[in-house]
Structure 1
């Protein structure tokens, strides 16, 4: 379905990703409405309409279904019931519930990827202390225990390097679903985002390199400092996954490039991604532009990297320092308008673009000190 300019695009979620989606939609000539319970949501700064209601509020969902031309989401914890209400009332939500169903549960996610013949780290399901002990015996050390649902930026995860770690984690283990993964010995962490249009065409962004600190993305480097052949392999795997899982809309995938030369999928998210914020200045189209285009039925091509780029995440503890820094012409700061700058809270990002990638990385690290 081709969505005409001037029509409403609805976004479930009002965080910074929703804000940047609304900005892109506005530039492309569309109107936006956002469903977000927080009055102070940063997406409300850009949306034409802000419905201040819970994500599962039936009246609001019915209103969205009847008054928007297409609906998307900016985070993956939308309930399946909300999707049902939208669809039952004539709402057009091309992504549907399938990407959420798979990506909300780590065991389903990794199993779905393996079923396509694509590698992940070895993993086992864990439900209780008995299955945890069995999984550790089979997987060994080092490994990492993660909650099957929820958890982000390193939350809900425990690294196991020895029997002492196993004993400590066993003591706090709850009766819930987990997944135990063998830790991959990797050269670097990579990510790639693709968008599939409602017309079936796919646009795949360049492969980037990610550096994390304390489980939170710190710096993204575009292009990744790896061989071109490896970059192409990652892009092909990304395309294979979005096609094989029959997803529509955006799909961001994080990878490990193993020291054994293998590429392992770590995790994925059916939404815009922190590691693709560099696209706002480094590519001919941003990840938000492509998501809007794809959901509005336009034909997609692979976006092009027009400038070497480095993205620096701005956390709560960084805000005062970054805002006082004297930025250069090739450095663009994006603040999300979130209010209180809490420690480790994502408050914005800084894009640095230029010719010399190593100089950009060095400059980003200087600004981060």
Structure 2
């Protein structure tokens, strides 16, 4: 076990990195952050900020020299950087999980190889006869870059097969997956943690509602059948075991109009839909990330209160600073601002957790807040 007093490292200093640092420091661990952004949110709370590229050898060597173990905030870390660290200190999760999660084609194929259902898809490459490759898919569809896509970025709708070439040219990518658009009943996520010895714990499922491709609300307990939640936990456990995963893992699921459970994607790290755990669970997903990294017994994931998490996007700042008084007049709302200096439309600037005796009551509080802020969904 790596005990308090030892220094931990993290690649990435955004809001997820910031929340990891805060959890680690509460537990007595100094933290070093590597992030090329001088104004990254984690820099203000870390013991040391290495402002350098993620593949900067000197910065990586500093992490290896000063940290007992390293984790990641996001999956798009180069294989070379991961290999450099892994040969020197424990890195959890490891490069194998990141390599799959950072490539949509590999990720979808990995799920299928495990016998898990996904939306129908095909891989598209330059020089392919696009219409021939897509002839077995049902349209409308959606084209997604295989790498560097998140929160709706790197995605384009394809209404009909006749528009494939136009959308391909618009996306400007070397490789993409084309996926049939599924009629959805629900979307939800399962977050688990797996320890070095293979023990796993699961957080309550979060029902997710998106707006323009960005997560808007996470509702816990999820309004999803117990049967589907149990099946999803089995799927997520199968993924974690196949990867020999150590750390916090999020897996997103679709429920089709026919009631089928489909795996959408995974995130080898804490996830936006798990932010409710900071205020509503015995141990948050970030407490869990610290524990898994350090080889400690995993934390209790028990839900203390029904909760709804709502993201605060940069759109709220278009007319100036939001009226925080309207938010803070609700005593059951917990406000989390990330300290980002520039507010842009669609950028995650913070979130709120609304706690109540029932999730529906928490939803009502947040809907009243939207009206006060004149912020339509």
- Please state which band the TM-score falls in when normalised by the shorter chain: over 0.9
- Given that 2:334 and 2:353 are in contact with CA atoms closer than 8 Å, whether structure 1 keeps it comes out as yes
- Give the aligned partner of residue 356 of structure 2: 354
Distance, in Å, in 2 between the alignment partners of 1:140 and 1:339 is 43
Cα distance between partner residues in 1 of 2:147 and 2:164? 21
How many residues in Structure 1 have an aligned counterpart in Structure 2?
367
Aligned to 2:295: 297
Say if 2:322 is the partner of 1:321. yes
Q: C-alpha separation between the residues in 2 aligned to 1:269 and 1:101?
A: 11
Query: Partner of 2:334 in structure 1?
Result: 332
User: CA offsets per residue over residues 226-251 of structure 1, 9 Å max, x none?
Assistant: 22222222122111211122221111
From the superposition, tell whether residues 128 and 324 of structure 1 become closer, same or farther in structure 2 (CA, over 3 Å). farther
Partner Cα separation in structure 1 for residue 153 and residue 133 of structure 2: 21
Contact 1:128 1:174 in 2 (8 A): no
By how many angstroms is 1:361 displaced? 1.3
TM-score of the pair, normalised by structure 2: 0.93
1:259-278 counterparts in 2 under 5 A? 259-278=257-276
Q: Is the 8 A contact 1:36 1:53 kept in 2?
A: yes
Structure 2: runs of 5 or more not aligned:
none
Give the alignment partner of residue 183 of structure 2, picking from 182, 185, 198: 185
Correspondence 1:279 to 2:277: yes
Indicate the larger mover: 14-23 or 196-205: 196-205
Matches within 5 A, 1:247-266: 247-266=245-264
Secondary structure at 2:217 match in 1: strand
C-alpha separation in 1, matches of 2:68 and 2:197: 16
Q: Return 5+ residue gaps in structure 1 as ranges.
A: none
Distance 1:313 1:296 in 2: 30
The 8 Å contact of residues 206 and 235 in structure 1, kept in 2 or not, is answered as no
Mapping of 1:73-88 within 5 angstroms? 73-88=72-87
**Residues 155-192 of structure 1: per-residue CA shift (max 9 Å, x gap):** 11111222454353144354611001112222111111
Give, in angstroms, the shift of residue 367 of structure 1. 2.1
What's the counterpart of residue 133 of structure 1?
131
* CA deviation after TM superposition for structure 1 residue 295, in Å: 1.0
Going from structure 1 to structure 2, the CA distance change for 1:177 and 1:159 (only over 3 Å counts) comes to same
**Offset, 1:310:** 0.3
Partner residue in 1 for 2:22: 23
Contact between 2:134 and 2:161, CA under 8 Å: does it hold in 1?
Answer: no
Q: Which residue of 2 aligns with 1:47?
A: 46
Runs of 4+ with deviation above 6 angstroms: none
Change (3 A) 1:172 1:198: same
SS at match of 1:77: coil
From the superposition, tell whether residues 347 and 170 of structure 1 become closer, same or farther in structure 2 (CA, over 3 Å): closer
Partner of 1:212: 210
Cα-Cα RMSD: 1.6
